Each structure stands twice: as structure tokens, then as C-alpha cells.
Amino acid sequence: MRKNLILLLCCVVLIFTGCGPKQEMVKKELFGTYKGGEVYLLTLTNKDGNVLKLTNFGARITWIELPDRNGNKDNVTFGFDTFDGMVAGDRYFGAVVGRYANRIARGKFTLDGVEYTLPINNGPNSLHGGPDGWHSVVWNIEIVEKTEYPTVKFTYRSPDMEAGYPGNMDVEALYTWTDNNEIIIDYTLTTDKKTVFNITNHAYFNLHGAGNGDILDHELMIKASRFVPVDTFLIPTGEYRPVAGSPFDFTTPHKVGERINENYDQLIFGKGYDHTFVFDNTDEVDATVYEPVSGRFMEVISDQPGVQFYCGNFLTGKMIGHGGKPYNYRSGLCLETGHCPDSPNQPAFPSTVLNPGETFKSRTIYRFSVK
């Protein structure tokens, strides 16, 4: 009797001090090896049991499992079930992209009178830091302990002249998966030589569930009264164009597919939407996506100057992702926050230069809920 009482007391103490059995917030499992580096799958589980999976191959998001309005869970981002599938597949799905996300015209830019040459991997241009950019390197992992939410920090040292860019650059991507179903990404960058950069996350979203049809019925809002028109190689013309009166006006919600086939020069050049929208920079939410069938809703909040809205115009269905599902034409959309393409060659755009002694810090949040 006395023993039972002591046992009961111990349990009460354990429960109240929070020392009882606790759900593991971050699980780390070996996923594969790449060029001698160990690649892990990190499973982050929040209070509601919703799961975010990350991997240090490209510091990428590979799984976001969320309920619809009836509580049925599905994964809403593109990725692969196996490591081999991931390496053989589209390298950008969910990855952190750098040193320069998006295009640099003809793979050349000049800094303090020195011309730098980058790998050409997209028509005549350099795209996403070249073929071996940050999306395809093995990052270091730190599971951040003593935090309220599951948190993983990826770090990488990008060596001087990597893919043609000057300066050793230290880059950090800190992912936090909150109980409010928010993925918070905090980027920190430093360099030891003057350089240029543009960092983003390249997740594809389909709020029906990845691989479940197209995204043309997703209702998109972007708080941007201007966007960046491009030429046929998707290089900016150098101006900003007002969205008013055009199929690029998403200042109020519109279905992605509503105006996509209109005879408008930029939709023809981009083969659909594949453009940077310049945020109006309110302190509120910068973009939202609503999918009416499941009720899933995504908000994007960022301190970056704009967002590349890309609606999967180059997806062909050849990429087979999670659960053996093909990722078909326009079956995913990206909202890649960052600077404008080709900024190092475009004097009118905000500067993408980073100097030694400076620290670039930036935060983007993808917040999920249902309506």
C-alpha cells in the first residue's frame, strides 16, 4: 500500500515536471551517402503530430504532412521516398538554392572591375548556382536542443570561387517547425570577400497533396503591385511593370489557371507564370494560397524583396516522386522568396552584394492551416 502510494507520487511529480516519456521532436536516420558525405533524413514532429521531413542533401524540405479540413493528412510538397530517387531526380525540389538562386545572364557579372564567369546550365544562362550549387551539397546538421519547437540547423561553407563566385561564404539555414504548423526558415550568410548571392527555398507545393492533380485551381494572392518582366530566356528586361489590369494582378485572390492562357507577352515568354513579384512590403502576410477542395491554406511571410512565382511549366511527369506518383505539368507551384533574377547585372534592382564584416539575415515563413 505504502509502495503504491510512493509510485503514484513519483508519477505525479514526473508528469508535472515534464520528465515523463516525451515524443521525440526530431528523429535522425541515415538516408545515404553522397561524395563521401553522410546524408540523413530528419523527421520533425510538432504538438499535433504533423510531420516535416528535411534532409541535409541540399538542406531540403522533402515532406510536409498536414490535415485537410476533415482531418485527413497528406504530404503537400514534392520529394522522393528513397535517397537514390532523390539524387537521380529533380535536384531543386525543396532545396536551399544558392549561391545565386535564379538566373544570371550569360553566366557573367562584374564586381569592382573584375569579371566573373559562372557555369552555364540553362540555355545561355547560369541557373541556381550552377549544376553543383547548394542544392546538391551535403550540409552539416545540428539538431538544436532546448527549443520550444523541433529545430534543425544546416550549415555549409561555400569555398572561394565555388561555381565561379568569389569569397568563402558561410551559410546557415535554420528550420523551425512550430505547433502552429509554420515552417520558419532563418538564413544567415557571411563572406570573407566581396561577393553576390541570392538565397531561397525551392519547395513545390500542391495543397491537394503532392501528385494529386494540378495546381490550376489553387487561389493565389500576392501583395505585389509590380512584377519583373523578362525576355524569352527569362532574363529581366530591367524594369518593373505594374500588375494592374494584367493576368499578373494577384493583389486579390485568383485561381492560378484563370488567366494563364491569355495572350499576354509575359505569359508567352515565361511559358506560364515564372516571374518575380516585388512585394509591396507591408508588415503582413505577403502571399497566400488556398485550395478549395481540401480547404488547405498557406501563407507566406518574408522580409525578402520579392518572390519568384513558378507554376511548374517545365514539369513533364517523368519525375516520379513520393508514393510512385508522377509530378505532371503544372502539378506544383513554387513561391521562392528572394531577390530579382540577374540583379548583379541590373543596376535598377536592389543590391545583392555582400561585403566582409556584414551579416545577411533573413526569415521566410510558410504557415499552413485549413479554412
From the list 135, 322, 336, 339, the catalytic residue is 336
Q: Annotated catalytic, 135?
A: no
Q: What residue ranges bind ligand BGC (CB under 6 A)?
A: 92, 102, 234, 274, 308, 310, 314, 336
CA dist list (Å): 366 to 55, 124, 211, 292, 299:
18, 33, 20, 18, 6
In angstroms, rounded to a whole number, what is the distance separating the alpha carbons of residues 12 and 111? 65
CB of 336 to ligand BGC, least distance (A): 5
Are the C-beta atoms of 120 and 138 separated by less than 8 Å?
A: no
- Rounded to 5, what percent of the chain is helix, strand, coil? 10, 40, 50
Shortest reach from residue 351's CB to ligand BGC, in Å: 21
Q: Which residues pair with 289 in a beta bridge?
A: 220, 298
Q: Which one-letter DSSP state was computed for residue 300? A: E
Q: Toward ligand BGC, which CB reaches closer, 102 or 195? A: 102
Q: Provide, rounded to whole angstroms, the least separation between the CB of residue 364 and ligand BGC.
A: 15
Q: Which entry of 128, 202, 254, 322 is annotated as an active-site residue?
A: 202
Q: Are 101 and 203 in contact (CB under 8 A)?
A: no
Phi, psi dihedral angles at 348 (to 5 degrees) = -80, -15
**Choice between 56 and 276, CB closer to ligand BGC:** 276
- How far is C-alpha 186 from the chain's CA centre? 11
Q: Is 284 a catalytic residue?
A: no
Phi, psi of 18 (to 5 degrees): 70, 20
Q: Which is nearer to ligand BGC, 209 or 341 (CB)?
A: 341
Closest-approach residue to ligand BGC (CB): 92
Name residue, grid cell 527549443. Answer: 147
Write down the least CB distance from residue 276 to ligand BGC, Å: 9
Q: Which is nearer to ligand BGC, 153 or 330 (CB)?
A: 330
**Active-site annotation, residues:** 202, 336
